[in-house]
Amino acid sequence: MNQFAWTPIGEPPPVPVPPPLPAKLDFTGERKGFLHMVARGAGLELVTLGFYRFWLVTDIRRHLWSNTVIDGDAAEYTGRGRELLIGFLIALAILVPIYLAYFLIGVEAEHMQVLASIPLIAAFYVFGQFAIYRARRYRLTRTVWRGVRLWMTGSGWIYAWRASVWLLFAIVTLGIALPWRAAELERYKMYHSWYGDLQGSFEGKGWELFKRIWWIWLLMPGAIILFPALPFLYARYKAEEWRWWISGIRVGGVTLNSRLEPTALTDLYWKVIGWYMLLSTAFATVIGVAAVSVARVGAAASGAAAGPDALMQSIPVLVVTVIGYMALALGLGVVTRLYLTRDLWARVLQTTVVTNIAAVANVAARGDIASAVGEGIADGLDVAGF
């Protein structure tokens, strides 16, 4: 009998490997803890006349980073408030002569042609873009995951140059070029970003963003007239932008993808607006009550009603106004940080999916920390981000 060997010859064909399950990004931070932290920070900012901002922003980042869990392991922010303070002081030393030079050149330029100093403001824009790039480098090199830090190469000046030229282009095209500008800048940033020895890249295309937001751009003029529509449009735009941005990020073989719904951020912006109105109303009420009671007391004392000018001069009303204004500003700071920093962060993370995370299982550490001067300049020029 001929026995057929049913066993195949050679190696068995490989069993198709199921694609690895996408890894989830998660945010584990407690909302109450964050609120407590920013409220306390706002109080300390008030007491320290703003100097506490370096430590508050560091605490916020530490909270956000260390609760960002990627494939089961949380990230870590290793920056410290003291570094930011030193960076700010160095930035001052750089900015003071620049401001002085700006003033002198401005005088000379105006001397030749009235209002000729306006192009100098453009120079500050370029400088601001430089600072944004360097500040990103600082934050990136303070970001650690699985014992390996992120870092960044590239030149802040080249970035600033590109950002400015593309801005000119966007202005000339009435904003149509903005998506391509965003793609170009993001490509530059991600191409120069590294996780250990893995290089980043950005695959988002300007066209893809344009396809998703062109109608917002068209509706904008109408929305300025019908202004309650503005927050809807802006929130929609931000959501589309986040989704496009996240979905374009690549690190080595790792792919990110965002499932953020286009309307996912709308309620956050409305909540901030609601709080803004509530706090402003409370502020107005407090001043109103103070003014009325001062007027009553004044009228009782002098027998005649005090005019609005006398009220303006009243020290108690002034004190109430100043304290009320401070409380309003700080309250708004807390609300904005809670909704537009923490909640937004959590929502974006929870809708992000990472595929091929195995590519980062064994990445060699590389790269060194960068100084906080860029961040200091950004703070001095008021262009600081997260």
- Closer to other proteins by CB, 176 or 318: give it: 318
Alpha-carbon separation of residue 374 from 76, 244, 382, 384 (angstroms): 21, 27, 12, 10
Alpha-carbon separation of residue 69 from 72, 73, 266 (angstroms): 6, 5, 25
Would you say 260 and 243 are in contact if contact means Cβ atoms under 8 Å apart? yes
CB of 72 to other proteins, least distance (A): 8
CB of 166 to other proteins, least distance (A): 27
- Closer to other proteins by CB, 80 or 162: give it: 80
Distance (Å, whole) CA 89 – CA 67: 30
Phi, psi (degrees; rounded to nearest 5) at 361: -65, -30
- Closer to other proteins by CB, 20 or 147: give it: 147
- Closer to other proteins by CB, 108 or 267: give it: 108
- Token pair 């080249």 is at which residue? 158
CB of 199 to other proteins, least distance (A): 15
CB of 82 to other proteins, least distance (A): 9
Distance (Å, whole) CA 361 – CA 146: 9
Give the residue among 276, 327, 286 at the shortest CA–CA distance from 39.
327
CB of 337 to other proteins, least distance (A): 10
DSSP label at residue 134: H
Distance (Å, whole) CA 244 – CA 130: 24
- Closer to other proteins by CB, 206 or 380: give it: 380
Distance (Å, whole) CA 208 – CA 120: 35
DSSP output for 32-60: HHHHHHHHHHHHHHHHTTTTTHHHHHHHH
- Closer to other proteins by CB, 240 or 343: give it: 343
CB of 152 to other proteins, least distance (A): 16
- Closer to other proteins by CB, 94 or 365: give it: 365
CB of 380 to other proteins, least distance (A): 9
DSSP output for 311-359: HHH-HHHHHHHHHHHHHHHHHHHHHHIIIIIIIHHHHHHHTEEEE-GGG
Quick one: 112 exposed, middle or buried, by C-beta within 10 A (0-12, 13-18, 19+)? exposed
- Strands 23-27 and 148-152 turn out to be unpaired
CB of 298 to other proteins, least distance (A): 13
Distance (Å, whole) CA 258 – CA 349: 8
- Closer to other proteins by CB, 94 or 107: give it: 107
Question: What is the binding site for other proteins (CB under 8 A)?
Answer: 28, 30, 42, 44-53, 55, 62, 65-67, 69, 73-74, 76-78, 81, 92, 96, 99, 103, 107-108, 110-111, 114, 144-149, 195-196, 307, 309-310, 312-313, 322, 325-326, 329-330, 332-333, 360-365, 379, 382
- Closer to other proteins by CB, 62 or 136: give it: 62
Q: Whole-angstrom distance between the N-terminal and C-terminal Cα of the chain?
A: 79
- Closer to other proteins by CB, 92 or 170: give it: 92
CB of 305 to other proteins, least distance (A): 14
CB of 125 to other proteins, least distance (A): 18
